[in-house]
Amino acid sequence: MPPIPAAFAALVTSARLPLDDLAAQPLQALPLPSLRVIARQAVDLLGAGVGTLLVELRLPRADLPAPMTAAELTAAPGFADVVAGRKTVGKDSPDRLLARAIQRTLQALAARCPGAPAALILPRWGSDGGFGDESVAALRAWQEWRQVPVTGVFGVADARSMPAMLAATAAPDLFDAGHDVGVLGAGAQRIVAIAQRLVASTPTAPYARRVEGVTFSYHAARFGVEPTPGLLRAPGGVAYDTGTGPYWKCNVFGGTVLALAELPVPTFEAGRYRHFPRAERFGDALAHRPGWQLVTALDHRDPRDPTIARTGRAQDNQIKALLQSVKAGDLLFVDHPGPPGNDGGHTRVCTRPAQRNDADCAPEFAQARYDMAQVQRNGMAALAGGRELQFWHLRSTIKQGPTL
Q: What is the mean pLDDT of residues 170-180?
A: 95
The pLDDT score that the predictor gives to residue 401 is 63
Residue 298 has pLDDT above 90, yes or no: yes
Burial of 36-68, coded b for 16+ CB within 10 Å and e otherwise, reads bbbbbbbbbbbbbbbbbbbbebebeeeebeebb
Q: What is the mean pLDDT of the chain?
A: 96
Residue 200 has pLDDT above 70, yes or no: yes
Residues constituting the chain: 404
pLDDT at position 342: 73
Within 10 angstroms of residue 91's Cβ, the number of other Cβ atoms is 13
Residue 341 has pLDDT above 90, yes or no: no
Give the pLDDT score at 402: 59
pTM of the model: 0.91
Question: CB within 8 A of 342, min separation 6: which ones?
Answer: 336
- pLDDT tops 70 at residue 107: yes
Mean predicted confidence (pLDDT) in 12-38: 95
- Mean pLDDT over 229-239 rounds to 95
| Gyration radius of the chain over CA positions | 25
Looking at residue 161, its pLDDT comes to: 95
Helical segments of 210-249, H only: none
Does the structure show a pLDDT above 70 at 144?
yes
* pLDDT band (50, 70, 90) for residue 399: confident
Q: CA separation (Å) from 189 to 27, 28, 184, 206, 351?
A: 11, 11, 6, 20, 10
What per-residue confidence (pLDDT) applies to 339?
Answer: 87
Q: What gap in Å lies between CA 78 and CA 82, rounded to an integer?
A: 7
E strands present in 207-283: 207-211, 214-218, 231-234, 238-241, 268-270, 273-275
What is the arithmetic mean of pLDDT over 176-203? 96
Beta strands at 364-368 and 373-377: parallel, antiparallel or unpaired: antiparallel
Residue 201 has pLDDT above 80, yes or no: yes
- 283-301 mean pLDDT: 97
pLDDT of residue 317: 98
Q: CA separation (Å) from 177 to 110, 164, 181?
A: 20, 26, 7
Please say if the pLDDT value at position 13 is more than 90.
yes
DSSP conformation class of 55: H
Q: What pLDDT, on the 0 to 100 scale, is given for residue 403?
A: 61
- What does the pLDDT read at residue 400? 74
143: left (phi over 0), alpha (psi -120 to 50) or beta: alpha
Is pLDDT at 404 greater than 70 in this prediction? no
If 0-12 CB within 10 Å is exposed, 13-18 middle and 19+ buried, where does residue 205 land?
Answer: exposed
Residue 343 pLDDT > 80: no
